[in-house]
Structure 1
Amino acid sequence: MPELPEVETTRRGVAPFLEGNAIAGLVVRESRLRWPVEAGLDARLRGATVEQVSRRAKYLLIQTGAGCLIWHLGMSGSLRIVTDGRPPRKHDHVDLVLANGHCLRFNDPRRFGFVLFTELPVGEHPRLAGLGPEPLSGDFDGSHLYLASRGRRAPVKSFLMDSAVVVGVGNIYASEALYLSGIHPRRPAGRIALPRYQRLAENVKAVLAAAIAQGGTTLRDFRDSDGMPGYFSQSLRVYGREGEACEGCGGTIRREVIGQRSTFFCGRCQR
């Protein structure tokens, strides 16, 4: 599943081709995504100018003069820029066609992604209202985690992945940040002291920033690519490494299911 760094890399890759350009139309080949694409959306967008491409959590926000498109990549979705008129491939469900001859094309084999539209301030949309702070912003720090965790019995891994606490910390990066912080993923969130939360917040920022930096090398993949954007290879210390040796102590990396998600950790290093 694309996580925050992949969505941010996508934003940076497609924004230069969209911002400041007029929309020629919206082509919907398959409307049955996670939620159906709104009927008549093509007419509402045609002629509007793309003013800004931003991101909130894992949502890509395409702000136009007519309103805002809220795009989510789901489990398997990807976006790329192609030349208008280039034949679609299998699972190319939606095209945002621009007057400059480019087209933003959405491919999603599993159809768990979606495209929504709102004329209201985007922060008021039900999908975005109530979200926690961005993890790379100044609003997110150890004090925020500590205060939000008081009285919480849920495992800290589940707590960290709660979008009402902080947005965009997905399964991979939660596992990695907890490992770097020496915190066991099953430890109750309310039983972690402020200094440990301060370290955890710093490591969340570090692993996400490093992943985004790695993603910069793949920006060329978002234009006229024959394949789907591959995002980038990641240097992971625990995620996906069940049975391998821990880089810190030499112990064995374990995997357990927490909150219905595979969680990887070192039982020696993380307490």
Structure 2
Amino acid sequence: MPELPEVETTVRGIAPHVEGQVIRQVVIRQPQLRWPVPVNLPEILPNLTIRSVSRRAKYLLISTDAGTIILHLGMSGSLRILPKEKPADKHDHIDFIFNNGTILRYNDPRRFGAVLWTTSSPAGHDLLKDLGPEPLSSDFDGMHLYRLSRNRKAPIKSFVMDGHVVVGVGNIYANEALFMAGIHPKRHAGRIALARYQLLADCIKTVLHSAIEQGGTTLRNFVNEAGNPGYFKQQLRVYGRAGQPCPHCLRPLTEIRVTNRSTVFCVNCQH
């Protein structure tokens, strides 16, 4: 599933190509995604100019003067910048065609993504209004985690993956950050001291920044706007490496399930 670094990579990749462009036509080939695609988009969007492309959590926000396209990549979605002559493939569900002849094409084999429209502020949308802070912002730090964690018995891994606590810390990056911070993934969130939360918050920021610099992580489907994979996979220290040596102590890494998610850690280095 594309996580925050993959979505941020997509935003940074498509923004220079679409900001300032005028939408000429919208083609919807498959309207049934996670939620139905608004049927009136082909009538609403033509002649509107894309003013900005941004991100909130794992949602892309494509803003115009009349409203905002809210787009989620789901489990397998991607956005590509293509010439208008490029024929559509099987899973190319939506095209945003611009006056300059380029296309922003949405591809989603599993159709768990979403393309929605709002004329109100996206911050107040039902999908966004209750989300926690961005992990790369100044609003997120160890004190924030410590304050929300008091009396919480949930495993720390589940806690940091809760979008109401902080957005965008998906399974891959939770594994990596907890390893970097030396925290056992099943440790109760309410039993972790402030100093360790300060370290964990810094590790989350470090892991996410590194992943963005590498263009995200490609495990199966993710590609950027040019169709290239992300390269952070080569830097993964624990995720997907069960049974292999720990990068620190060389003992075999252990895999367990935490809230039904694959979790890899070192029993010697993480406490």
TM bracket (short chain): over 0.9
Task: Give the aligned partner of residue 87 of structure 1.
Answer: 87
Three-state SS of the structure 2 residue aligned to 1:10 is helix
Q: 1:64 to 1:144 in 2, by over 3 A?
A: same
What TM-score does the superposition give when structure 1 sets the normalisation length?
0.95
Distance in structure 2 (CA, Å) of the matches to 1:49 and 1:207: 35
Q: Is the 8 A contact 1:221 1:229 kept in 2?
A: yes
The AA in structure 1 aligned to 2:150 is R
Aligned residues: 265
Q: Is the 8 A contact 1:78 1:229 kept in 2?
A: no
For residues 57-77 of structure 1, give each alpha carbon's deviation from its aligned partner in whole angstroms, at most 9, with x where no partner exists.
111110011210011000011
The AA in structure 1 aligned to 2:112 is F
What is the deviation of 1:221? 5.5
Distance in structure 2 (CA, Å) of the matches to 1:24 and 1:229: 27
Task: Give the aligned partner of residue 261 of structure 1.
Answer: 261
Distance in structure 1 (CA, Å) of the matches to 2:228 and 2:104: 13
Task: Give the aligned partner of residue 177 of structure 1.
Answer: 177
Q: Is the 8 A contact 2:78 2:224 kept in 1?
A: no
Distance in structure 2 (CA, Å) of the matches to 1:232 and 1:42: 36
Task: Give the aligned partner of residue 2 of structure 1.
Answer: 2
Task: Give the aligned partner of residue 208 of structure 2.
Answer: 208
Distance in structure 1 (CA, Å) of the matches to 2:104 and 2:224: 13
Gaps of 5+ in 2: none
For residues 58-104 of structure 1, give each alpha carbon's deviation from its aligned partner in whole angstroms, at most 9, with x where no partner exists.
11110011210011000011110001232101100011111111110
Tell me the C-alpha RMSD between the 2 structures.
1.4
For residues 93-152 of structure 1, give each alpha carbon's deviation from its aligned partner in whole angstroms, at most 9, with x where no partner exists.
011111111110011110001101100001000110111010000000000000010111
Distance in structure 2 (CA, Å) of the matches to 1:232 and 1:98: 30
Q: Is the 8 A contact 1:80 1:229 kept in 2?
A: no
Q: Is the 8 A contact 2:83 2:101 kept in 1?
A: yes
What TM-score does the superposition give when structure 2 sets the normalisation length?
0.95
What is the deviation of 1:222? 2.1
Task: Give the aligned partner of residue 231 of structure 2.
Answer: 232
What is the deviation of 1:260? 1.4
Distance in structure 2 (CA, Å) of the matches to 1:42 and 1:15: 21
- Worse-matched range after superposition: 233-242 or 135-144: 233-242
Task: Give the aligned partner of residue 225 of structure 2.
Answer: 222
The AA in structure 2 aligned to 1:18 is V
Query: Sequence identity, in percent?
Result: 57
Distance in structure 1 (CA, Å) of the matches to 2:58 and 2:96: 19
Q: Within 5 Å, which residues of 2 pair with 1:68-87?
A: 68-87=68-87
